[in-house]
A = this chain, B = another copy of it.
Amino acid sequence: MPAPIRVTIWNEYVHEQQEPSVAELYPDGLHGALAKSLAAPDLEIRTATLQEPEHGLTQAVLDATDVLLWWGHAAHDKVDDAIVARVRQRVWDGMGLLVMHSGHMSKIFRELNGTSGKLHWREVGELERVWCIDPAHPIAAGVPEHFDIPYEEMYGEPFMIAGDAHVIFMSWFEGGEVFRSGFTLQRGFGRLFYFRPGHEAFPTFHHAEVLKVLANGIRWLRPAIDMPFPKTHRPDPLSPIAPKDFKVHNVGIVNP
């Protein structure tokens, strides 16, 4: 039996402490709700929040994390740049990262995409229909061709993400927009999965299909390797190099 996957669920944990309606939906915080719903024998789950020292993401915690889940919205710029750099380095070394919903504007999402993460949005609680466009992807295992979330925030295209986004889910919104709702990336040795649903004002994280996708995502994000990039300086050639005459005129000169 393989070792359990070490999962850390990170939540900025702001709305739940400020808005009673959110607290009612998620009395233990979004992170608490997710930790409870995603619990499984092959997972070793812990949580971390913005308010903890080093946001709960010390080097030791990250080193012992195989897959990091990220939920943030109101406090993206309160996340310390040094912690973001630390998370990014862990992804480059192999750690999986699952960014949810409004995390599209988090520093870590933007830095790994290399884009602004921008999109259009509307918050009126409309129907979102999620379509699976790559049913053969492991993250789609057991997920139906489409499922409905009765009320959600709208995110609309254009969505500023990297060109190598492998899109697994696309959303149709009642109000007339479309969106690439679930996609994967690889950065360095690590993988990223972004999944759109999950607005704090709605019970989305109690939705069976949404939880199924997140559960699949965690398994798929498990690192294949976990190591730093190997030594970069290779002073000795592997094959013989002929003697050279380092003269400028040996190059096809344009401007002598």
Interface residues of A (CB under 8 A from B): 25, 33, 36-37, 89, 92, 94, 111-116, 118-122, 124-127, 129, 131-138, 141, 145-146, 149-151, 154, 156-160, 162-164, 166, 170-178, 180, 185-190, 202-204, 206-209, 211, 223-225, 229-230, 232-239, 241-242, 244, 246, 248, 250-256
Nearest 9 CB-CB pairings of A with B = A175-B237, A176-B238, A163-B164, A164-B164, A176-B239, A136-B189, A112-B114, A114-B114, A208-B252
Q: Which residues of B contact A118 (CB under 8 A)?
A: 229, 232
Report A206 CB to chain B, min CB distance, Å. 5
A62 to B127: give the CA distance in the assembly, Å.
Answer: 43
Known: A131-B177, A254-B211. Is A120-B234 also a contact (CB below 8 A)? yes
Q: Are B250 and A151 in contact (CB under 8 A)?
A: yes
Contact of A163 among B92, B166, B178 (CB under 8 A): B166
Q: Which residues of B contact A234 (CB under 8 A)?
A: 120-122, 154, 156, 177
Contact of A176 among B129, B207, B251 (CB under 8 A): B129
Report A134 CB to chain B, min CB distance, Å. 7
A149 to B164: give the CA distance in the assembly, Å.
Answer: 30
Q: Are B178 and A122 in contact (CB under 8 A)?
A: no
Q: Are B224 and A136 in contact (CB under 8 A)?
A: yes
Q: Which residues of B contact A211 (CB under 8 A)?
A: 254
Report A250 CB to chain B, min CB distance, Å. 5
Known: A206-B253, A229-B118. Is A170-B157 also a contact (CB below 8 A)? yes
Known: A116-B92, A207-B251. Is A122-B235 also a contact (CB below 8 A)? yes
Nearest opposing residue in chain B for A176, CB measure? B238
A202 to B229: give the CA distance in the assembly, Å.
Answer: 28
